[in-house]
Amino acid sequence: MQQYIVRRALLNILVIFMVITMVFLGLRVTPGDFAVRQAGAQIPGHSAEEAREIVRHDLGLDKPVLKQYWEFVSGLFQGDLGDSFVSKQPVMLELKDRLAPSIELAILQITVAIMVAVPIGIISAIRQDTWLDYILRLFAIFWLAVPSFFVGVLLLYSLARWAHWSPPITNYKGFFEDPLLNMQAMVLPAVAGGLAIGAIIMRFLRSQMLEVLRQDYVRTAWAKGLRERVVVLRHGLKNALIPVVTVISLLLAAIVSGNVVLETLFQLPGIGFYVVNAIQQYDYPVVQGVVLVMAAGLVFVNLLVDMAYAWLDPRIRYG
In whole angstroms, give the CA distance from residue 132 to residue 154.
27
275 contacts other proteins (rule: CB under 8 A): yes
Query: CA geometry: angle at 167 spanning 163 and 172, to 5°?
Result: 165
In whole angstroms, give the CA distance from residue 48 to residue 46.
7
13 contacts other proteins (rule: CB under 8 A): no
Phi, psi (rounded to 5 degrees) for 90? -60, 135
Closest separation in Å from C-beta 51 to other proteins: 23
Looking at beta carbons only, is 225 or 319 nearer to other proteins? 319
Question: Shortest CA distance to 56 belongs to which of 277, 284, 291?
Answer: 284
Question: Shortest CA distance to 120 belongs to which of 103, 99, 97, 143?
Answer: 143
Closest separation in Å from C-beta 47 to other proteins: 27
134 contacts other proteins (rule: CB under 8 A): yes
Which one of 111-119, 144-152, 164-172, 219-227 is the stretch in contact with other proteins (CB under 8 A)? 144-152
Closest separation in Å from C-beta 19 to other proteins: 5
Looking at beta carbons only, is 25 or 226 nearer to other proteins? 25
147 contacts other proteins (rule: CB under 8 A): yes
Q: Which positions lie near other proteins, rule CB under 8 A? A: 11-12, 14-16, 18-19, 23, 26-27, 30, 32, 134, 137-138, 141-142, 144-147, 149-150, 153-154, 157, 160-161, 200, 203, 207, 210, 214, 243, 246, 250, 253-254, 256-258, 260-261, 264, 272, 275-276, 279-280, 287, 290-291, 294-295, 298-299, 302
